[in-house]
């Protein structure tokens, strides 16, 4: 019988690492939005993949884990290529979506990604979705609908032409969520033969090579110090966030980590408010009414419900 993983019991460390992960994911769309003012989306995405490939490759090399790809047959390499293109699509579609919509809305909509992955797990891997989780999913969808409607009403009330762009940007983020779910399901299958970091290292390299002909590396040299630091933060964000996430799971129960991460959209909205208050020239404030806050709250509650109510207590 295979033994199950047990958390170390250091819940304070697990909580701290969970909050660090949520903070990384909450602030990423803000940094992306600001950098996009001076850098094109393809070059930004290419640079993020290059840095991620270098960091992940160095980590694997230091632990002697750069080998092992020989176990992949033709089907395995095909799945690895598919995963690479899906993650590449996630990065690009999300970034394009952030250009047209607000950071808070993008972060809220991307919550669809893990839930679509969960639904995919039902149909692909035969996993079980409990009734309470279906209720959580309904809450999430209802919350997203209310929040999105509120944002469209705000754009119309401001008598701007942003409502069409806002809807288009939101649609791009939804596409980003869908392709991420496909990537996650493919990676789950690849984990039968490879470790997660081994899979990610190859995916990062594939994405960086594919984007290179369309990127403009020379434009990176023209960035001022502020945008250069923000770009570096964007590049290191994924590596740091997933590292903290993995360590959080080592010290705290997965359901509790997931519950903390469900608050990411609200943290993003708070971060946008803080950045606008300190540097109003960098970022517009989120315009949210009571309807929007209700929708955001329902979406967060639904996301937490799917994570928490899907866990069964281990037998004593």
> Of the ranges 102-106, 175-179, 184-188, which is most confident?
175-179
Q: How many CA atoms lie within 13 A of 217 on its CB side?
A: 10
Residue 5: band (very low, low, confident or very high) from pLDDT cuts 50, 70, 90: very low
Per the prediction, the chain carries an average pLDDT of 79
pLDDT score at 303: 73
* Residue 207 near residue 91 (C-beta atoms within 8 A): yes
Report the alpha-carbon distance of residue 166 to residue 101 in Å, rounded. Answer: 5
pLDDT at 2 over 50: no
Block residue for tokens 């972060």: 107
Q: Among 129-138, 220-229, 263-272, 300-309, which stretch is predicted with the lowest mean pLDDT?
A: 300-309
In Å, how far from its chain's centre is CA 302? 17
Higher pLDDT pick, 91 / 73? 91
Whether the per-residue pLDDT at 220 is higher than 90: the answer is yes
What is the C-alpha separation between 179 and 167, in angstroms, rounded?
Answer: 19
pLDDT of residue 258 exceeding 70, the answer is no
pLDDT at position 43, please?
A: 93
State pTM to two decimals.
0.76
Note the pLDDT of residue 3: 46
Q: Which residue has the higher pLDDT, 65 or 30?
A: 30
Better-scored residue on pLDDT, 259 or 46:
46
Q: List b or e across 14-23, with b for residues whose CB sees 16 or more CB atoms inside 10 angstroms.
A: bbbbbbbbbb
Q: What is the pLDDT of residues 36-78, one digit of tens each?
A: 889 999 999 999 999 989 998 898 888 887 777 777 778 888 8
Predicted confidence at residue 162, as pLDDT, reads 54
* Strand ranges (E), 173-316: none
Q: Give the pLDDT confidence score for residue 217 in this predicted structure.
A: 92
Q: Which of 98-107, 111-120, 200-209 has the highest mean pLDDT?
A: 200-209
Q: What is the C-alpha to C-alpha distance for residues 107 and 26, in angstroms, rounded to an integer?
A: 7
Q: Give dist(CA 67, CA 239) in Å, integer.
A: 21
pLDDT single digits (tens) 183-216: 878 877 777 777 777 888 888 898 899 999 999 9
Residue 277: burial class (beta carbons within 10 Å; 0-12, 13-18, 19+): exposed
The secondary structure of 71-90 as a DSSP string is G--HHHHHHHHHHHHHHHHH
64: its two tokens = 């002697």
Mean predicted confidence (pLDDT) in 28-32: 90
**Confidence (pLDDT) at 4:** 44
CB 288 within 8 A of CB 150: yes
The average pLDDT across 273-292 equals 80
pLDDT at 155: 63
Q: Residue 9 pLDDT more than 60?
A: yes
Give 258 or 13, the one with higher predicted confidence: 13
Tokens of 29: 């769309």
């Amino acid at each position: 019988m295979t033994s199950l993983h047990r958390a170390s019991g250091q819940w304070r460390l697990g909580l701290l690492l969970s909050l660090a992960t949520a903070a990384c994911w909450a602030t990423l769309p803000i940094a992306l939005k600001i950098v996009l003012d001076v850098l094109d989306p393809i070059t930004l995405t290419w640079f993020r993949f290059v840095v991620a490939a270098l960091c992940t490759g160095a980590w694997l090399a230091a632990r002697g884990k750069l080998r092992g790809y020989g176990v992949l047959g033709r089907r395995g390499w095909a799945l690895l290529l598919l995963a690479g293109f899906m993650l590449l699509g996630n990065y690009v579609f999300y970034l394009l979506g952030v250009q047209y919509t607000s950071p808070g809305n993008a972060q809220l909509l991307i919550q669809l990604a893990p839930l679509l992955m969960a639904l995919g797990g039902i149909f692909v891997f035969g996993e079980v979705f409990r009734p309470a989780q279906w209720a959580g999913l309904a809450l999430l969808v209802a919350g997203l609908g209310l929040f999105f409607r509120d944002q469209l009403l705000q754009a119309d009330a401001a008598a701007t032409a942003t409502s069409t762009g806002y809807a288009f940007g939101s649609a791009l983020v939804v596409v980003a969520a869908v392709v991420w779910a496909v990537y996650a399901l493919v990676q789950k299958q690849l984990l039968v033969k490879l470790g997660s970091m081994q899979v990610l290292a190859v995916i990062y390299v594939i994405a960086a090579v594919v984007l290179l002909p369309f990127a403009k590396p020379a434009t990176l040299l023209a960035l001022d110090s502020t945008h250069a630091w923000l770009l570096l933060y964007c590049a290191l964000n994924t590596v740091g966030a997933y590292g903290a996430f993995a360590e959080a799971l080592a010290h705290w129960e997965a359901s509790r980590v997931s519950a903390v991460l469900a608050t990411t959209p609200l943290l993003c909205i708070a971060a946008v408010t803080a950045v606008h208050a300190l540097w109003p020239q960098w970022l517009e404030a989120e315009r949210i009414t009571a309807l929007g806050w209700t929708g955001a709250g329902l979406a967060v509650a639904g996301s937490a419900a799917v994570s928490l109510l899907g866990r069964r207590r281990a037998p004593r």
